[in-house]
């Protein structure tokens, strides 16, 4: 089995890919697509094949998927990029990769998406059966383009597509936890963020990749304990702004996800059920 991984130099990909390589069994190989050959060298040293090219280049996609059995599309463009770039990478390029994979006879395609595709809250944890509803304070080109990619990939007849919807990912030196204050500083004190450690994102993706008989399934990956804006300030060692207490949370269930499906069907259990467990283990 040869698995192609995209987005291997991003925060999720650079932590997932070494785990995929390390857990490969005899006969399982990994190929990575990178835009810069130098950034592929660490993966070559781990035993991966390296293809140099851009996800938005059809010729590069054809070369990347040649002879591949499975694809894990981790590539994403979000925070701070122009909307056109987000739509090009998260939507157009992901869909083009799906078509290239289908033409090459790829057997499995894992699309790494985001819980932000749910949009507005439902008054309870969202499940994989909930439709995408545009809106809410975290809606924009990123979730919009990820939702489009999901729809079009899942509609490709003949391609076994599985979708992983990620929470706010943190841990292992990832700066995301500190970056959360860009939003949390403007939230109500009780507004929550659903999180997931890189260890658990990786184990969820590995389960989704290898599980038999789950074509067309969508899985939420997250921990057990969403944290509030107050907690995010405390975790970052920053004073809690007094004005947080004067604000009202406009959507208390925004992107709070149920993980019942991945637990029941794939045996997922978070190694770090909360950010506090990760902190206590020295895994931040």
Interval 237-267: pLDDT, tens: 999 999 999 999 999 999 999 999 999 999 9
Tell me the pLDDT band of 124, cut-offs 50, 70 and 90. very high
DSSP string covering the chain: -EEEEE-TTSTTHHHHHHHHHHTPPTT-EEEEEESSHHHHHHHHHTT-EEEE--TT-HHHHHHHHTT-SEEEE-----TTS-HHHHIIIIIIIHHHHHHHHHHTT-SEEEEEEEGGGGBS--SS-B-TTSPPB--STT-SHHHHHHHHHHHHHHT-TT-EEEEEEE-EEE-TT-THHHHTHHHHTTS-TT-EE-EEEHHHHHHHHHHHHH-TT-TT-EEE---S--EEHHHHHHHTT-PPPGGGGG---S-TTTT-B--HHHHHHH----SSSSHHHHHHTT--
Read off the pLDDT of each residue in 65-71 and give the average, rounded to a whole number: 98
Q: Where are the domains of the chain?
A: 2-170+195-222+258-270
Determine the pLDDT at residue 79: 78
Q: Is the pLDDT of residue 20 over 90?
A: yes
Predicted local distance difference test score (pLDDT) of residue 84: 95
Q: pTM for the whole thing?
A: 0.97
User: Considering only the top CATH level, what class is 2-170+195-222+258-270?
Assistant: alpha beta
Mean residue pLDDT across the chain: 97
Vertex 9: Cα angle to 85 and 217 (nearest 5): 75
Examine the pLDDT at 78 and tell me if it is beyond 90: no
Res 107 pLDDT > 90: yes
pLDDT attached to residue 91: 97
Above 90 in pLDDT, residue 80?
no
Residue 18 in this model has a pLDDT that exceeds 90: yes
**pLDDT 10s digits, 160-194:** 999 999 999 999 999 999 999 999 999 999 999 99
With a pLDDT cut of 70, the percent of the chain lying above it is: 100
pLDDT at 236 over 90: yes
pLDDT mean over 184-211? 98
């Amino acid at each position: 089995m040869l698995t192609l991984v995209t987005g291997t130099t991003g925060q999720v990909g650079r932590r997932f890919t070494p785990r995929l390589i390390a857990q490969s069994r005899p006969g399982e190989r990994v190929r990575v697509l990178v835009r810069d050959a130098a950034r592929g060298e660490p993966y070559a040293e781990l035993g991966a094949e390296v293809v140099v090219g851009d996800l938005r280049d059809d010729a590069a996609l054809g070369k990347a998927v040649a002879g591949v059995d499975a694809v894990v599309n981790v590539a994403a463009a979000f925070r701070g990029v122009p909307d056109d770039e987000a739509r090009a990478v998260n939507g157009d390029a992901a869909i083009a990769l799906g078509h290239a994979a289908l033409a090459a006879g790829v057997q499995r395609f894992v699309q790494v998406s985001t819980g932000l595709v749910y949009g507005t809250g439902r008054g309870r944890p969202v499940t994989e059966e909930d439709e995408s509803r545009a809106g809410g304070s975290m809606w924009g080109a990123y979730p919009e383009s990820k939702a489009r990619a999901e729809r079009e990939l899942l509609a490709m007849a003949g391609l076994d597509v599985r979708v992983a919807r990620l929470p706010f990912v943190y841990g292992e030196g990832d700066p995301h936890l500190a970056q959360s204050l860009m939003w949390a500083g403007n939230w109500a004190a009780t507004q929550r963020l659903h999180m997931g450690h890189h260890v658990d994102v990786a184990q969820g993706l590995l389960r989704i990749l290898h599980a038999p008989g789950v074509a067309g399934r969508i899985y939420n990956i997250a921990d057990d304990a969403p944290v509030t804006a107050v907690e995010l300030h405390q975790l970052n060692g920053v004073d809690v702004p007094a004005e947080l207490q004067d604000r009202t949370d406009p959507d208390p269930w925004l992107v709070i996800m149920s993980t019942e499906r991945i637990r029941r069907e794939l045996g997922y259990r978070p190694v770090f059920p909360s950010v506090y467990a990760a902190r206590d283990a020295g895994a931040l």
